[in-house]
Amino acid sequence: MNNGAIKIPDEYSGEGFNAINLENFKWNTCLWEIESIAHDKIKEISFQIHRYGKEPSGGDELLFEIKDILFEEVECDVVHGWLCAPEEAVFPRSGYFTNGTKTSIANTASSDFEIIDANTKQIVFNDDIKRVDSFNGSFAVLDFSCLKTPGCYRIRFWKNKNSGFPYRQ
């Protein structure tokens, strides 16, 4: 519930909604960006489960523990449709599944990118940036799905690689 300039629920009973898939039998750390939902004066937040039949990987009971809820103000990404700010990349702040597809959408003229281990600062992956033209627009796709080692990483690409300075990291 938001009691700021834009009320939630609104006059049509519209509310903000976010779905998160959880991994069974494991503590899941979830990050939720609510940029597109009014949140200048949050009054209430609720958690609900929607279950339609028994999940194949689930047990006979559901148990959720929710702790350490934090509200933080962060610099928002500029995203309009599929287009992000110039020389920026957008990606899920909640991360990627270890064995899943890992892609980022970028608005850059760069031709290649690197994935850097955030702790060791070592390059762990590099590849060419793919260009995609679709009904959603024209944009760059950074695909690092073959990176399977869990960890904390940064995406880096250059406006001019010969300058020696990363354009965006």
Q: Is residue 168 part of a domain?
A: no
Q: Which residues contact 166 (CB under 8 A, 6 or more apart)?
A: 156, 157, 158
Which range of residues forms the domain containing residue 106? Answer: 79-163
Identify whether residues 12 and 58 lie together within a single domain.
Answer: yes
- 12, pLDDT greater than 80: no
Q: Is residue 58 part of a domain?
A: yes
Identify whether residues 47 and 106 lie together within a single domain.
Answer: no
Identify whether residues 30 and 84 lie together within a single domain.
Answer: no
Identify whether residues 135 and 65 lie together within a single domain.
Answer: no
Q: For residue 92, what is the domain's CATH number?
A: 2.60.40.10
Identify whether residues 105 and 122 lie together within a single domain.
Answer: yes
pTM of model > 0.85:
no
pLDDT class of 140 with cuts at 50, 70, 90: very high
